[in-house]
Chains A and B, each alone.
Chain A
Amino acid sequence: MHEELIAEIEDWRPALQGLVHRQMPLISSGNLDSLGLMRLLVWIELKLGRPIRVTDVDLIRDWDTVDAIVRFIECEYASR
């Protein structure tokens, strides 16, 4: 899932082609702009198969890196 997400992010932001890695800050660094965030939300929702109550999520803690996002998805799966 990590590699799939990295490929998606590079697709959303071609300027990041070849630069994205698992610990790279995406949100706190401004690498993901508003449109990128929306795409990320939709991508996570597709992975989970349900909408996310995003106002309850700490985005900087839970979605700032590829590692954190994958961990978030795994935790959400586990809590179902």
Chain B
Amino acid sequence: MNHRIIRYEPEFRERVAALHAEAFGLDPSESCSYLAWKYEENPYLQEPLLFLALNDAEVVVGMRGFYGTRWNVDGSSLCIPCADDFVILHRERNLGLATTLMQDALAKVRALGFRYVLNSSGSPITVLQQLAMGWRSLGAMEPVERLTWRGRLHRALADHLTRVPGAHRLAHRFGPDVSACLARLERSAGRAESHRAGITLGVEPRADVMAELAADCRDDQRVSHVRGPEFFRWRFRNPTREYRYLYLERAGVLHGYLIVTTYRQFAYRGLPCSIADLVGRSDRDRTDLIETVLSWGDFSAIGAWSAAFSPDDRESLEHAGFVPSELQARARGMPCILLKTLNSERTPGAGLDKLSWDVRFIDSMHG
């Protein structure tokens, strides 16, 4: 069967949403709003970088997206499209379409003048395929998790149900109630006596002051995602997630923030809650934020990517009961961030894969 690779046009919106919804177990309307947020409202790319595979009957049988990201590199900023939402319709798999779609999409991205592409949330199978196409790992993200007895019980039940024929669709019902996690966090934060060290909980990002703090705390020796106000205004409108923000203030000045994220529709295989980002002016500030969010949320299961954290922050997590997770993936060097150089000419930022990268959970679509 012949396939044609084209760039996304709005006329394909419903068909793309249907393909995405089927692949990721979402409602088509959820997929539609998610894709619109990610590709059409992205602050770093004017036009959606989304490529579609059509078969002879003009049916959308595959998609490969690149959403915009912007990184601080050597004192300037660089827009790098980040690959995501790779879908091949089940009946079209293992026919070489995956490779064709990826190669064609990359050629089109390169023709638009982009020098690099990233992938920060590929499944093991996607990571493998991309390594085979010359992508390089920028480092493993070293996931950690903290489970209470309730979290372990939920996981054991869900794992058991996934092995029972016909029962796997029920497994999510035995997962932790994520709305209860957030409600607990809000109740605890609302109690005056539980306030610690000037920490408060917010339901909206304070884009301007968060951007100022992130700029003050940035390590210029490492490549890091630009955290300007436009990042905070866009990033947390992800319609598939909910976010809560712990703010640490002294004398009216923001000294730190910690962001917790949950799925709106919890996928029982993953962790219901994660620390999406942590920024603070001092080790003590960040430790206070970690201790506070765990105390207030009393999460049955919460995770984080520890690779970008400072040694002190990692020690705080370990002290709080976080342990290495996703052990099989870790042993394979995953989850990881992948970079592909599209244009090897000597240009500013060349050799990005040799630099040290500070990649947070929120910099990927896991967050």
Binding site for B on A (CB under 8 A): 13, 27, 30, 32-38, 41, 50-57, 59-60, 63
B110-143 near A? 1/0 per residue, CB < 8 Å: 0000000000000011111101101001001000
A contact residues around B95 at 8 Å (CB):
33
Closest to B140 in A: A55
Please, how many angstroms separate the alpha-carbon atoms of A32 and B333 in the complex? Answer: 21
Contacts A33-B96, A34-B128 given; does A60 touch B336 at CB 8 Å? no
Determine the main DSSP class of B at the interface with A. helix
| A-B pairs with beta carbons under 8 Å apart, 5 shown | A33-B96, A33-B99, A34-B128, A53-B332, A55-B332
Inter-chain contacts of A52 with B (CB < 8 A): 332
Q: Give per-residue flags for B321-348: 1 if the beta carbon is below 8 A from chain A beta carbons, else 0.
A: 0000000100111101000000000000
How many residue pairs, one in A and one in B, have C-beta atoms under 8 Å apart? 62
Q: A23 to B291, alpha carbons, bound, how many Å?
A: 57
B106 to chain A, nearest CB (A): 14
Q: Of residues A13, A35, A55, A56, which shows the largest number of chain B Cβ atoms within 10 Å of its Cβ?
A: A55
Question: Does the CB pair B129–A37 fall under 8 Å?
Answer: yes
Interface size of B in residues (CB-CB distance below 8 Å): 24
Question: Could you tell me the distance between the alpha carbons of A27 and B135 in the complex, rounded to whole angstroms?
Answer: 14
Contact, CB under 8 Å: B96 / A37: no
Q: Besides A53-B332, A55-B333, 16 other CB < 8 A contacts?
A: A30-B96, A33-B95, A33-B96, A33-B98, A33-B129, A35-B125, A36-B94, A37-B125, A38-B124, A38-B125, A38-B128, A41-B128, A55-B140, A55-B332, A59-B128, A63-B132
The reply on B93 being an interface residue by CB < 8 A is yes
Cβ A56 vs Cβ B134 within 8 A: no
Assuming the contacts A33-B94, A60-B134, asked whether A53 and B333 have C-beta atoms less than 8 A apart, the reply is: yes
Q: Within 8 Å CB of B94, what residues of A? A: 13, 33, 35-36
CA distance A63 to B127 in the complex (A): 15
Please name the residue on chain B nearest to A64 by beta carbon: B132
CB neighbours (8 Å) of A36 from chain B are: 94
Interface residues of B in 162-187 (CB under 8 A from A): none
Interface 0/1 of B76-98, CB less than 8 Å to A: 00000000000000000111101
CB nearest to A57 among chain B residues: B131
Closest CB of chain A to B190's CB: distance in Å?
A: 44
By a CB distance below 8 angstroms, the chain A residues around B127 are: 54-55
- The minimal Cβ–Cβ distance linking B85 to chain A, given in whole angstroms, is 15
Nearest CB to that of B102 among chain A residues? A34
B residues in contact with A51, CB < 8 Å: 328, 331-332
Complex CA–CA separation, A72 to B99 (angstroms): 24
Residues of B within 8 A of A63 (CB): 132
CA distance A3 to B24 in the complex (A): 38
